[in-house]
Structure 1
Amino acid sequence: MFLTATALAVGALAGGAWTGSAEASDGAPAEDQGFSFEALVRKMKDKASGAYDPHTPELPQKFLDLDYDQHRAIRFQPERAVWKDSGSNYRLQAFHPGWLYKESVELFEIVEGKARPIHFTGADFAYRKPLNPEEFEGIDLPGIAGFRLHHPLNTPDYFDELIAFVGASYFRALGKGDVYGLSARGLCIDTAIAGPEEFPRFTRFYLERPEKGAAELRLYAELESERVAGAYRFTVKPGLNTIVEVDAHIFLRGDVERLGIAPLTSMFLYGENDRLGFDDYRPEVHDNDGLLILRRNGQRLWRPLRNPDKLALSFFGERSPAGFGLLQRDREFDHFQDTEAQYQRRPSLWIEPVKGWGRGHVMLAEIPADKEIYDNIAAFWVPEGDAKAGSEHRFSYRMIWGREPEPGTELAQVISTSTGHGGTAASDADPNLRKFVVEFQGKALSELGADAPLKPRLTIQNGALKHKQLQRLEGGSWRVVLDVARENASQPVEFILALQLEDADITETWMYQWSGNT
């Protein structure tokens, strides 16, 4: 779950929703109704023209009363997975409702162009200690908390978990060899503003029954909240990097101050650039270590993540960006030393817009956190212009989940950012002076000798440069050492840095914000 800005709390492209008007009284499609995505889009547009009806199947009280340990003790029985005996490359398992998941969702299967409900009962789950399984015998579930899809991702004879949708509009996926880390969301409404954030939720899912041997799977979702209704289409393509193609049709029934498209949520507790206040044997703890933005002209902006002492917002103005994402570049176990969490195996997630998105900005929100259970990082696209009631928005994009999803480049990359008190090793620490060490690595740099006419392109706002040094390291990487004094203590210091040869950038552009603690 994502942490709101005001309270630290746990918080594309073809296919088929039903045609015709036959529905159950609660708005769900009647049994065996024809299905098309176009009709689902029309339905959600019609719903946006009326008042929000937060219909959700009512859960039995015993589900609502479950605590964390009790809910965690409920496991889906793999032998009862949907499509288990169909010869498909996919199997579907459900998450049990209850505990935090008090608003259940409904699932439908599309077979031969018709939508049919998928029902689950207590027999589909194992109710382990401390629960008494006899209390759940024969119970029918009015809905589920979410679902996950399994696929032989890593080996041909084992169905690994591939993608999961659970809680509001959150979902996450894996590439080959990954373990779960960051999440995505269907939509952000007023994240990190002065007022409350709104959490749109997926209320119904429609999954096309995968044909035998099919490599990809397509599913659809209804998204709703007080000020929005939306229709989504997802095409899932597993692989070394798993690709999820998204086609989102969004209809606003109320004004929105900040509309967030393709939202990503992650965790950054501390790293080589930011570990003040953490007495831990592990050198680093984070799901991702930086935000990358690829501009249309090929310029790459790299912004290392931080865990600030107060809410920090960064805005990167763009016109039809080629992509952006939260990456985990650090893949060395020795840098994390966590055999259980395995942060070195957490996936990166790259967002690649389909067609132009026009003007807007990539927004990065960094929220203070004192535990790694909190997702305190958010990044998303905010389109230019007002998001008013009655407006319609469509965004198509590819999500690439994996260890190396970012597009290749001849530019050298930032491989580390380190900070510490400024001055020499023997000097007393000055809270107004800080040292920043940025290391670049790549073929364009490794072939240069130490006497190459390489120079930094450096811009600093709200800071005075006291010392600068450019060094070639063994192995061919280069680093820049900066000592900077902060000028206005109430404002952050902003950095822009790249290395140039003959007045042309041969590295990506490092961007950083020093806001006081790091």
Structure 2
Amino acid sequence: MPHVSDSRLFASSPHPGRRRVLGYLAASTVLAGGLPRAARAAGQDAATTPAPAAAAPAPAAVAPAPEAPRPFSYDILAQEMKARAAKPHVERTLANSPLTKLTYDDYQRIQFRRDHARWQGKEEMFRLEAFYLGWLYKTPVELYQVEDGKATKMAFRNEDFQFYNPISVKIPETGPLPGVAGFRLNTPLNRPDKFDEMVSFLGASYFRALGRGNVYGLSARGLSVNTAISGAEEFPEFTNFYLEKPAPAAETVTLYAALESPSLTGAYRFVMKPGAATTMEVTVQLFLRADIQQLGVAPLTSMYLFGGNDPGNFNDFRPEVHDSDGLMLDDGGDLRYWRPLNNPPQLATSYFSAENPRAFGLMQRDRNWNDYLDAQAFYNLRPSLKVEPLGDWGKGAVRLVEIPSQSEANDNIVAFWIPSAPAKAGDALTFAYRLSWGMLPLPPDQTLAHVQRTRTGHGGVAATKSKLDSRKFIVDFEGGLLGNLPSNADVKARLTVAKGKVEQQTLSKIEGTKTWRFVVDVSAPKGTIIELSAVIEGYGRTLSETWLYQWIKE
């Protein structure tokens, strides 16, 4: 068994900035297949507002003298961040600026002018646009263009943005900006004649990306520090970004980023390649100022409101509402694990121990629109996100945090890797991994059957009175070598139930399909946290991935 789990109420509530900080990403942009979550919640998109706001009668600011280009490389950045770790952390934020008074609606109405995008050459395959400062995003970041080993600061002005009426804060029409909030990169992702958004970096160390045919869903972070433990969570921030100017017709773009927080600094490199699955090769060097109780590497953030296995009491016409439906873990050996997500009655957490895992991620396996019926959100098109460690990660655990939620506007799912070695002041740590964003379908020639669906309900037998004190779990395993076996094959389900009682269980093949259905009824006292695990075995081998589930008996 690779996991130990518990569920409890923590002393501190989740930081509100994390719960939906990425829901407002690209809030002024219409995406293929629907609006970003925050724009949809507001009931409009700023791009449809026809009237630009009048310029405020304020004098234009005087632009500072441009900085001279300076030598740059990833090694130089790493040395700078190592030196910075030896000094106290300094907060960066807008001071007494009217931009801090921008409302959510104001922020939606400020858009980067497409004709001001950087890298608009005829053969350029990537275009850069910036996000305006203000509203939630009060920490200026600086962007640099790297060319021929030299970094040159990119200057942005109010003239680069379009302001749509009404905006409650007076903003000059011209003049330099003290920085920007973040940026996005556009590329011909879906059609050769149209530049679509590929990736966005906005807010703390949050970023997210799209594969071909996707709409925005889950997000990633550069790092998590003390997430969902007793005490305050720390939110490291990307402060400076260095973007190598891509060569004409280049298929990849390389980005470097400086990370800062009270407890550490970091140097990041992202080599990004758009495609059916957009990939990022990520290299991380961390320099610790202080001991860290819990270091979260490659953190992922998503939303699960309700679904087939956890329908809740939402009285919603949509059968399912989620950006991701399960956590996948490939332990690097012969086993793969699938843990359906829940919207629990209380803050819940699970740990999945591993040594040098091959991959983990938050996945959206269900791609059937009829299972969602949302003609705006298109949850069936939300990307899955897989993390593939590169090099030796040693021993540790993937931690899954599930936060109770009553709204799809809240990100309530977090997953990340926790190294087993303690994170101590003075440590220099290195990690490398690949992120893949996209539909990420399972390979058709896989050996192991996969969990096609999980359903739950009251225990008992059909056509008889339900047993309200027990819970029925239905798990459908599809494909692999198991799917080719006849219904009388000598296979069995190996079931483990912690803190619950098994009332009955069956395993049978669904006629006319390559699906085997495992059904188990479990009872437990109220308030019990029950852990379940099931895998199909036969003929001396494992025939399916391992299904894991956490049930909190209410």
TM-score interval for Structure 1 and Structure 2 normalised by the shorter chain: over 0.9
Q: What is the deviation of 1:5?
A: 6.6
Deviation at 1:184, TM superposition (A): 0.3
> Cα deviations across residues 98-146 of structure 1 (Å, max 9, x unaligned)?
0010112110101221111111111111100112898431132111111
- In 2: Cα distance, 1:469 partner to 1:190 partner: 42
Q: Which amino acid aligns with 2:402?
A: E
CA contact (8 A) 1:4 1:197 kept: no
Secondary structure in structure 2 of the residue aligned to 1:52:
coil
Deviation at 1:40, TM superposition (A): 0.7
Q: Residue 477 of structure 1 aligns with which residue?
A: 515
Whole-angstrom distance in 1 between the partners of 2:441 and 2:515 = 23
On the 8 A contact 2:449/2:483 being kept in 1, the answer is no
Tell me whether 131-140 or 354-363 shows the greater mean CA deviation: 131-140
Alpha carbons of structure 1 residues 42 and 299: separation in structure 2 relative to 1, 3 Å: same
- Cα 1:486/1:190, change in 2 over 3 Å: same
1:354 aligned residue: 390
User: Which residue in 2 is equivalent to 1:494?
Assistant: 531
Tell me the residue number matched to 2:458: 421
Aligned to 1:22: none
Counterpart residue identity of residue 315, structure 1: Y
Residue in structure 1 matching 2:280, options 244, 253, 256: 244
How far did 1:471 drift?
A: 2.0
Q: 1:383 aligns with which of 409, 416, 419?
A: 419
| Displacement after TM superposition at 1:90 (Å) | 0.3
SS of equivalent to 2:75: helix
Q: Is the 8 A contact 1:229 1:252 kept in 2?
A: yes
Is residue 372 of structure 2 the alignment partner of residue 336 of structure 1?
yes
Aligned length: 496
Q: Please list the CA deviations of residues 165-215 of structure 1 after superposition, one character each: whole Å capped at 9, or x if unmatched.
A: 000000001111111100000000000101110000000000001111111
Q: Deviations over 1:357-377 (max 9, x none)?
A: 000001000110110011100
One-letter identity of the residue aligned with 1:149: L
Residue identity matched to 2:333 = N
1:315-361 Cα distance to aligned partner (Å, 9 max, x none)? 01111101101100000000000011000000001100111100000
1:36 aligns with 2:73: yes
SS in structure 2 at match of 1:152: strand
Q: Which position in structure 2 is the counterpart of 1:463?
A: 500
**Aligned AA (1:54):** E
Partner Cα separation in structure 2 for residue 366 and residue 46 of structure 1: 37
Q: Does the 8 Å CA contact 2:470/2:521 hold for their aligned counterparts? A: yes
Question: Which residue identity lines up with residue 122 of structure 1 in the other structure?
Answer: N
Equivalent-residue separation in structure 2 for 1:495 and 1:176 (angstroms): 36
Alpha carbons 2:11, 2:229 under 8 Å: kept:
no
Look up the match of 1:270: 306
Report the counterpart of residue 51 of structure 1 in structure 2: 88
Q: Which of 121, 127, 130 is 1:85 aligned to? A: 121
Instruction: For residue 256 of structure 1, report the CA deviation from its aligned partner.
Output: 0.7
Query: 1:10, 1:374 within 8 Å by CA — same for their partners in 2?
Result: no
Q: Does residue 463 of structure 2 align to residue 436 of structure 1?
A: no
CA distances 1:388-413 after superposition (whole Å, capped 9, x unpaired): 11111100000011101667731010
- In the other structure, the counterpart of 1:167 is 203
Compute the displacement of 1:30 (Å).
Answer: 4.8
**Structure 1 Cα separation of the partners of residues 529 and 148 of structure 2:** 58
Instruction: Tell me the equivalent position of 2:36.
Output: none
Match of 2:244 among 181, 189, 208: 208
Check 1:457–1:73 CA distance in 2 against 1; reply closer, same or farther (3 A cut). same
SS of equivalent residue, structure 1 residue 159: strand
Residue ranges of structure 1 left out of the alignment (5+ in a row): 12-28
Task: Name the CA distance, whole Å, in 1 between partners of 2:485 and 2:422.
Answer: 49
CA distance in 2 between partners of 1:331 and 1:197 (Å): 34
Matches of 1:65 and 1:74 in 2, distance apart?
A: 14
* SS state at 1:153 partner: strand
Task: Could you tell me which runs of 5 or more consecutive residues in structure 2 were left unpaired when the two chains were aligned.
Answer: 1-9, 19-65
Contact 1:10 1:375 in 2 (8 A): no
**8 A contact 1:5–1:367 mirrored in 2:** no
> Are 2:225 and 1:189 equivalent residues in the alignment?
yes
Q: Secondary structure of 1:288's match? A: coil
* 463 and 327 in structure 1: CA distance in 2 versus 1, 3 angstrom threshold: same
Q: Is residue 15–residue 233 contact of structure 2 (8 Å, CA) maintained in 1? A: no
Q: TM-score, normalised by structure 1?
A: 0.93
- Native 8 Å contact 1:422 1:435 kept in 2: yes
SS at match of 1:38: helix
Identify if the C-alpha distance between structure 1 residues 194 and 439 changes in structure 2 by more than 3 Å, giving closer, same or farther. same
Question: Structure 2 matches for 1:400-419, cutoff 5 A?
Answer: 400-404=436-440, 409-419=446-456
Change (3 A) 1:305 1:419: same
Identity %: 45
Task: For residue 397 of structure 1, give the secondary structure of its aligned residue in structure 2.
Answer: strand
Residues 399-437 of structure 1 deviation map (CA, whole Å, 9 limit, x = unaligned): 011101667731010010000111134555544310000
Matches within 5 A, 1:438-453: 438-453=475-490
Query: Are the structure 2 counterparts of residues 405 and 42 from structure 1 closer, same or farther at C-alpha, using a change threshold of 3 Å?
Result: farther
Deviates more, 1:44-53 or 1:279-288: 44-53
Q: 1:126-141 counterparts in 2 under 5 A?
A: 126-131=162-167, 135-141=171-177
Determine if contact 1:357/1:395 at 8 Å carries over to the other structure. Answer: yes
Say whether the 8 Å CA contact 1:326–1:350 is kept in structure 2.
yes
Q: Secondary structure at the match of 1:380?
A: strand
Instruction: Name the structure 2 match of 1:150.
Output: 186
Which 10-residue stretch deviates more, 320-329 or 86-95?
86-95
Counterpart-to-counterpart distance in 2, 1:406 and 1:141 = 46
Which range moves more in the overlay, 183-192 or 473-482? 473-482
CA contact (8 A) 1:350 1:406 kept: no
Contact 2:337–2:547 (8 Å) recurs in 1? yes
For residue 44 of structure 1, what is the amino acid of its counterpart? M
Deviations 1:69-95 (A, max 9, x none): 011111111010001136310000011
- CA distance in 2: counterparts of 1:130 and 1:219, whole angstroms: 35
1:104 to 134, 137, 140: 140
